[in-house]
Amino acid sequence: MPSKNESSPSPKPLRFGPDVNSESSPSLQVPSPSTTANPPAVTEPKTELPAYEFLGYLPDSYGTQKLFLSPRDPRILFAYWDLSPVQYQEAARVAKDGKVFLEIYVPGEGRVQQVHIWDNHKNWYLQVNRPDTAFIAQLGYYRQDGGFEVLARSAEVRTPRDTLSPNTDARFVTIPFHVTFRELEAMIAAQAQPGEELVDTLARLQQSETPLPFQARVPRELTPTESEELLEYLGDEEVRRRMVGSLEITEILRKRFETALSSGQWTSSAGAWVTSVSSPFGASFGKERGFHMHVNAELIIYGGTEPNAKVRVDGHDISLSKDGTFSYHFVFPDGQFHVPVEATSADGVEKRSALLSFLRMSETEGDVRKTGQPVMDEPLGRVS
């Protein structure tokens, strides 16, 4: 440490230039502003894509006029079609009302839904609320004479069931976990039939109660009455709240039922089952209350004209009363509908028409079923 009388060497002044701080320090070159602002351009070799790498853009439509219908689930259909804007505009131009419609039919029953579509529409979801029902879709427009011109028609499709499958051919087999498949095969090899799989042989032996060299618990088959009551108490809740297959649901219900039997929660008296089991969703499954509700809607179109005129409603000839009044009974499910009404004078010279549009949207809570169509008095609903 230097003494007080000794002065510390003064630091060398900083110098700016090619050398920084020390003569022995490497020089630091400061790039000029022109070099920083305009860096040398890096040229990359241009590569051209081969012809097969770009085949062009897909067209909006091929103009095949094909219509496809597919069930999305038991209650909703999905329709999609290939109709070019030119084809749509041509159909709308010759249509009586300038509109193109997508219609849904139930074979043997008639039209159940109608939707006005535009040239930018390529598909549509339709809520039909009809499980296990056949449907056909068609695209078209109303001609000047009131008839419906079909542009495209789909194949017939069927919505799936929303209940348990009626197929009761499922077989259950108990495989012991402490026995390997190789050991199991050796145990029952003598009982196997030609071409029979291991589990099929084991299921057949267990079904016939053949003595096996290991302990296996064979599930008891439910009687028809037990199965029916089981589904009544538990099946509806499970099916609605669990998106699983019917076989899996059946196994779930079987296990719950047999567990309840073994624990004494279910008892049978004179063919009637009584239970103290509570629903995991908060409902009590005791005695059936019998409370229910059913509701539906129908539409009545009525009007009048000259007694000798000709009237068509929705493409049907309607019988007139003596004073020229008429009425038409129209089944009104969920959906959007456009119903043309036309009156033509007896000599065919004058014509009057109207297009009635209706929309029905239903929302239900709980077990609400549909009311059947009531019998209507004449001339309501009668067509000639």
In tens, the pLDDT along 270-294 reads: 334 444 433 333 344 444 556 778 8
**C-alpha pair distances (Å), 46 with each of 43, 80, 340:** 9, 43, 64
pLDDT tens figures, 3-19: 545 555 555 554 444 44
Whole-number Å distance between alpha carbons of 381 and 157 = 28
Percent of the chain with pLDDT over 90: 23
pLDDT at position 65 over 60: yes
Among 50-59, 81-90, 232-241, 286-295, the range with the most confident prediction by mean pLDDT is 81-90
pLDDT at position 234 over 80: no
- Mean pLDDT score, 17-22: 45
Domain 294-368 CATH class label:
mainly beta
Whole-number Å distance between alpha carbons of 255 and 278 = 16
H/E stretch holding 253 = helix 246-263
CATH fold label, 67-158: Immunoglobulin-like (2.60.40)
| pLDDT reported for residue 24 | 46
| pLDDT reported for residue 74 | 92
| pLDDT reported for residue 16 | 44
pLDDT at position 356 over 50: yes
Among 76-80, 176-180, 273-277, the range with the most confident prediction by mean pLDDT is 76-80
pLDDT-wise least confident of 147-156, 205-214, 234-243 = 234-243
Within the chain, strands assigned E span 67-73, 76-81, 100-106, 110-117, 123-127, 134-142, 148-153, 157-158, 266-269, 272-275, 293-294, 298-304, 310-313, 316-318, 325-331, 335-344, 351-360, 368-369
| pLDDT reported for residue 216 | 57
Whole-number Å distance between alpha carbons of 304 and 286 = 56
Percent of the chain with pLDDT over 70: 66
The tokens describing 230, both together, are: 């089981």
pLDDT tens figures, 96-143: 999 999 999 999 988 999 999 988 889 999 988 899 999 999 999 999
| pLDDT reported for residue 132 | 92
| Residue 364 Ramachandran class (φ > 0 left, ψ -120 to 50 alpha, else beta) | beta
Other C-beta atoms within 10 Å of 154: how many?
22
User: DSSP letters along 170-217, please?
Assistant: -------TTS-HHHHHHHHGGGPPTT--HHHHHHHHHHTT---SS---
| pLDDT reported for residue 274 | 42
- Mean pLDDT score, 166-190: 80
pLDDT-wise least confident of 55-59, 120-124, 324-328, 366-370 = 366-370
Residue (of 114, 115, 112, 116) closest to 130 by Cα position: 112
Other C-beta atoms within 10 Å of 146: how many?
19
User: DSSP letters along 128-160, please?
Assistant: ---TT-EEEEEEEEE-TTSPEEEEEEPPPEEPP
For residue 256, name the pLDDT band (cuts at 50, 70, 90): low
For residue 269, name the pLDDT band (cuts at 50, 70, 90): very low
Tell which wins on pLDDT, 363 or 323: 323
pLDDT at position 370 over 60: yes
Backbone phi and psi for residue 235, each to the nearest 5 degrees, phi listed first: -60, -45
Residues contacting residue 290 through CB under 8 Å, at least 6 positions apart: none
Whole-number Å distance between alpha carbons of 202 and 223 = 23
Residue (of 114, 113, 124, 121) closest to 72 by Cα position: 124
H/E stretch holding 230 = helix 224-230
pLDDT-wise least confident of 216-225, 242-251, 295-304 = 242-251
pLDDT at position 236 over 70: no
Contact by Cβ (8 Å): 380, 327? yes
